[in-house]
A and B are shown apart, each in its own frame.
Chain A
Amino acid sequence: MDAYLAAMLVFAGLYALMALGLNLAWGLAGMVNLGLAGFVAVGAYGSALLTVRLGWPMPLGIAAGTLLAAVAGAGLALLVARLRGDYLAIVTLGFAEVIRLIASNETWLTNGTDGISGIPGPLRGAVTPQQFNLVLLGLVWGSVGLVFLLSARLSHSPFGRVLRALREDEEVAAVAGKPVLAFRVRAFALGTAICGLAGALYAHYNGYVAPDGFAPLLTIYIVLALTAGGGGSMRGAVAGAVLVIVLLEGTRFLAGAIPGLAPVQHAALREASVALALLLLLRWRQQGLIPERTLTKAAP
């Protein structure tokens, strides 16, 4: 049970990182990124390939994975930063599917649908599995803390104020002489960098990456986390991520308690309840569970 709880907390931390990444672009700059799973994949594959194939040390691999995700994010943002929110949703969702297709088909690079196994983990093998869980628990939540602090400073820096101004009214910001495109691209890329970091940590935790792991469902979970927590609020993003894991894991036990259903019906109920939770949260808690105090208008 301890190991299970520790593992779920690691997952919650990884989801929290992704939610913070999503929040940076969405909550601050109003740019939605439904291609989140794709950027997580870039970070995960980047670090996995560099450490496994080229023998890079793990910290360097993780940094490179983060950087790769940032570059991919900046590239996409340069193209699409001016699109309306709902158009951006369509493009980014498609982008993640393209990343998954490339990961599946460019076997020479990614080993295809076989995935990459045997990815090293910090102290893996040197300590017991449970101790390894705890090491990762520290590492992941340490990263969450770090990203949290950095984003908080960012949010209150002039950069953050410009981003919020952009989100509220782009024209006013532009009139104020701010290079709108550059700001939005930087916010988006910072967000994808954090997703890439989460992906890299995920790769070293599980020791394995494969295209199937980066399905759109992951993006739905993180959007759910951020919605539950409140767009624009970092504490909310972290709380939302924990809530998503509680929901995902809790439904296992709840759905199982309903008698007379076939297992496939339990499975359907579980996925349906995640969807329903998101719909209900969108409806009743549009500011999230912990709304950002400084905001006048709910995001997005």
Chain B
Amino acid sequence: MEDWRDLLQVLVNGVMAGSVLMLPAIGLNGIFAVLRYPNFAVAGFATIGAFAGWVANVAWGMPAPAALAFAFLVAGVAGLLAEEAALRPLRPAGPLTVAIGSVALTLLLENIIRFAFGNDLRGYDLPVQRDWRFDGIRVNPQQLANAGTALAAAGALFALLAFTRLGRAMRAVADNPVLADIKGVDPDRIARLAVFLGAGLAGLGGMLVGLDTSIDPLTGFRVILSVFAAAVVGGLGSIPGAALGALVVGVGEELAGVILSPAYRSVTAFLAILLVLLLRPQGLFGARA
């Protein structure tokens, strides 16, 4: 690291990389908050979102914002259907069984996408823009737009949780399902909503990953370890935690790439998971375990 500018550039890169992890991590934590199991299938939902967005954008010629909305919807519906059909029946057996089921589910979803689309790489129909430079620090407009999209979606979710009756009901179920039930909140309805939103956000995030790279059936799988790291660092079940955790993991991986070796970025994600779970299982920012 020759000077402060290089360090700043690494930080900027990390924030950009982290911002695309943000939505899948929020999705994961949103589902965890209500249903109390880690859903590995967010990788599959992210891939589904990426391909839904591709169909909308390339095959149907929709502009990117509309394609993003479509990615959210399709992934959300797919997530809801998958949850109801595959994971919900496993809930009585405990969170570990559901977690293992979700590993199988993500393999299933990946292969459904492979069956339908093949393995070929695909790119969205968008121009690639040159970086902007601020005093030597380069930032890409597309990545800024992605970060903005992620923040806007996260913000919309916060608003939903904070200011609507539905949001308050969701938080109530997350805090104490029994009490919420007594108060007349239908926990099943809330669970379905959480899964729809969580899977939808994962899908939106998957398309953001795709906008920054290109997509194939392994798109979600490639980011899943980092997404889990983000969710755990932020505190499983904590939505603001996931947002901050994503940035921490993004920056951490970039720093590790520079200091350690680019071949060992994923090790950072693992170490982050290990350290946080051991020392502070409620996450760096979460109050609740």
A residues sitting closer than 8 Å to B (CB atoms) are 32, 34, 79-80, 83, 85-87, 89-91, 94-95, 97-98, 101, 104-105, 217, 220, 223-224, 227, 262, 264-265, 267-269, 271-272, 274-276, 278-279, 282-283, 286, 298, 300
Contact in complex: B105, A91 (CB < 8 Å): no
What are 24 pairs between A and B in contact, CB < 8 Å? A32-B100, A79-B278, A83-B277, A85-B96, A85-B99, A86-B95, A86-B99, A87-B277, A90-B277, A91-B273, A91-B274, A94-B229, A220-B107, A223-B103, A264-B118, A268-B114, A271-B110, A274-B107, A278-B104, A279-B101, A279-B104, A282-B100, A283-B90, A283-B101
In the docked arrangement, what's the CA distance between A290 and B133, Å? Answer: 65
Closest to A98 in B: B270
Say whether B129 faces chain A, with CB atoms less than 8 Å apart.
no
Count contacts between A and B, CB distance < 8 Å: 121
Contact in complex: A89, B118 (CB < 8 Å): no
Say whether B115 faces chain A, with CB atoms less than 8 Å apart.
yes
Contact of A269 among B90, B99, B111, B266 (CB under 8 A): B111
* Chief secondary structure at chain A's binding surface: helix
In the docked arrangement, what's the CA distance between A224 and B101, Å? Answer: 10
Q: A85-B96, A269-B115, A278-B101 are in contact. List 10 more A-B contacts (CB 8 A).
A: A83-B277, A85-B99, A86-B37, A89-B38, A89-B99, A224-B104, A276-B108, A282-B90, A300-B94, A300-B97
Residues on A with C-beta less than 8 A from B228 are: 90, 94
Known: A90-B228, A105-B261, A282-B101. A272 touches B111 (CB 8 A): yes
Contact in complex: B115, A265 (CB < 8 Å): yes
Closest to B107 in A: A275
Contact in complex: B94, A85 (CB < 8 Å): yes
In the docked arrangement, what's the CA distance between A276 and B105, Å? Answer: 8
Say whether B127 faces chain A, with CB atoms less than 8 Å apart.
no
Closest to A217 in B: B107
Q: How far is the CB of B233 from chain A (nearest CB, A)?
A: 12
Residues on A with C-beta less than 8 A from B95 are: 85-86
Say whether B86 faces chain A, with CB atoms less than 8 Å apart.
yes
In the docked arrangement, what's the CA distance between A90 and B264, Å? Answer: 19
Known: A79-B274, A97-B225, A97-B270. A272 touches B97 (CB 8 A): no
Residues on A with C-beta less than 8 A from B38 are: 86, 89-90
Contact of B100 among A89, A91, A97, A105 (CB under 8 A): A89
Contact in complex: A32, B108 (CB < 8 Å): no
Q: How far is the CB of B45 from chain A (nearest CB, A)?
A: 15
